[in-house]
């Protein structure tokens, strides 16, 4: 396959042609005005294939992610719209998939959603209807068959690339990638991972996926992000489940005279290393309001010359 067939988006074009993909993250503001978000996104223009619009991270309220992604389209940026199962049932999911396509949003990322207990409304009711694989299965069915799960025909099927998440781990004896397999079996077109700042572990993990027959089946984007200090790195490890940062990297940041600058160098070097790891098709730069720093890392890495 040499031409886009699912979304006609830049992210899909990069994955299909073998160009190492680069995406970044943006969080919608707690505001009815998207202007501040657009300003934060500007440094990423021309450096990334797409910008991932988070949805309810930490179970916090913010401008609708669907509206935010639509505003990015208007500003000339390609979004990846996060869609979580925590806050929607199957009917709302189907409406949002159609709504995203109607707004020109070419990419969706399915995830379960963070627990409610630490968020703005800990007493809110979680919707126990959809896991990530369910979201992938429904969205890809709507795209590929032009019908709803009920069998009703869709007048104009959504053209969207549908992704899911993964978490690289040390592949110990007996480990099997069952969670990832379920998402791929459901039809996921690409995978985006939690933070992984350990190229060695990642290489072993990707080899284990290959041994399990899951290599070469999808675009695989590895999560990175600005490292600004020893304290920040330890916070990521302690508070974001699945984050991998080797202790020598954390200690090195603590000894650096310019930890922010040293963090940029470390992450840029890691991004270049990942280009050479079989099975890795791109990187995804994450971090709350870290768009400018992510753009600097991408520029320093040389991945977008």
Task: Provide the sign of the torsion angle of the four alpha carbons 220, 226, 230, 232, taken in this order.
Answer: negative
Domain assignments of the chain as residue spans, ordered by start = 10-301
Q: Let me know: does 49 contact 10? Beta carbons within 8 Å.
A: yes
- 217: number of Cβ within 10 Å: 16
**Spans of the chain below 50 pLDDT:** 1-2
Domain 10-301 sits in CATH at 3.20.20.220
> What confidence score (pLDDT) does residue 3 get?
54
> What confidence score (pLDDT) does residue 2 get?
43
Residues 6+ apart with CB under 8 A from 23: 11, 48, 49, 50, 51, 52, 80, 192, 221, 282, 283, 284, 285
> What confidence score (pLDDT) does residue 292 get?
96
Q: How far apart are CA 278 and CA 100, in angstroms?
A: 33
Q: How far apart are CA 49 and CA 70, in angstroms?
A: 16
Report residue 235 as tokens: 């916070």
> What confidence score (pLDDT) does residue 81 get?
98
Q: What is the pTM of this model?
A: 0.95
> What confidence score (pLDDT) does residue 1 get?
37
Q: Let me know: does 253 contact 233? Beta carbons within 8 Å.
A: yes
Rounded CA Rg of the chain: 19
Residue 3, SS3? coil
Beta bridge partners of 220: 191
282-285 and 107-111 as β-strands: parallel, antiparallel, unpaired?
unpaired
Spell out the alpha helix ranges (H) of the chain. 10-17, 35-41, 65-74, 90-102, 132-145, 178-186, 199-211, 230-239, 247-255, 259-275, 291-301
């Amino acid at each position: 396959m040499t031409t886009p067939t699912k979304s006609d988006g830049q992210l899909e074009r990069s994955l299909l042609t073998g160009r190492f993909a680069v995406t970044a993250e943006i969080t919608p503001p707690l505001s009815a005005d998207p202007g501040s978000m657009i300003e934060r996104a500007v440094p990423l223009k021309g450096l990334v294939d797409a910008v991932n619009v988070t949805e309810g991270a930490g179970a916090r309220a913010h401008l609708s992610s669907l509206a935010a992604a639509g505003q990015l389209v208007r500003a000339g940026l390609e979004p990846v719209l996060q869609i979580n199962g925590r806050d929607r049932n199957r009917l709302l999911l189907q409406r949002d998939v159609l709504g995203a396509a109607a707004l020109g949003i070419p990419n969706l990322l399915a995830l379960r959603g963070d627990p409610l207990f630490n968020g703005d409304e800990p007493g809110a009711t979680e919707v126990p209807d959809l896991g990530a694989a369910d979201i992938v299965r429904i969205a890809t069915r709507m795209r590929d068959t032009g019908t709803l799960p009920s069998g009703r025909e869709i007048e104009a099927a959504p053209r969207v690339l549908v992704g899911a998440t993964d978490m690289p781990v040390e592949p110990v004896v007996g480990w099997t990638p069952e969670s990832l397999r379920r998402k791929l079996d459901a039809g996921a077109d690409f995978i985006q991972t939690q933070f992984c700042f350990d190229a060695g572990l990642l290489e072993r993990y990707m080899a284990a996926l290959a041994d399990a027959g899951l290599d070469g089946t999808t675009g695989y984007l590895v999560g990175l992000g600005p490292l600004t200090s020893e304290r920040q790195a330890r916070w990521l490890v302690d508070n974001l489940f699945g984050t991998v940062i080797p202790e020598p990297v954390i200690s090195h940041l603590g000894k650096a005279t310019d930890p922010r600058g040293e963090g940029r160098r470390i992450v840029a070097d890691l991004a270049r290393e990942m280009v050479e790891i079989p099975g890795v098709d791109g990187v995804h730069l994450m971090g709350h309001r870290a768009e400018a720093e992510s753009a600097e890392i991408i520029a320093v890495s040389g991945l977008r010359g």
